[in-house]
Structure 1
């Protein structure tokens, strides 16, 4: 497997990253009304109904099977690594920062920590 993908997968194991992604999702759910039938609405409902499992699935999906609603996040994260990450320790921070920023764009609200 590509070294970059291994680094991304390692970063996804980081609890802080999961919390930041979850925070963005939960902030969206509590402050916006997703379009009926949209991927955002489905995600919002899933997070509300079963937060921890949804977060795990969402993070896994971003790495193993990027879908339409997560492809932007995947592209942003890998682009950020290509352009800015120069050491292994930078990888986790770049992934977390870029995915938080993209989550804010996708969900329309600033990400918050939980």
Structure 2
């Protein structure tokens, strides 16, 4: 940072995929839970893309401390109808050794800091 002794570090990992996409309005995501520990992004994408051609990508969430899967992930579709079909058809389908639990993906919470309730500047 200019005029300081502090180094400036930019953490690219803090940006969500939505920050880098200009076509976010054409993406439809689902939550995929109860994944086996051996399921990778590629495995998850392949199982959905084999049935739904509009699949744009898949992401298995990894614990930053252990490097292991947290047991859930997300799949992005380019077609809302295929997303809806996948939520019904793939719920309970096996991926690796376990049946998947499918649900709607909820948007990430804002990273902005909200004011604390009950604390007033006095």
TM-score, normalising length from structure 1? 0.26
Instruction: Select the structure with the greater relative contact order (CA < 8 A; seq sep ≥ 6).
Output: 1
Question: Computing the radius of gyration over CA atoms, which structure comes out larger, 1 or 2?
Answer: 2
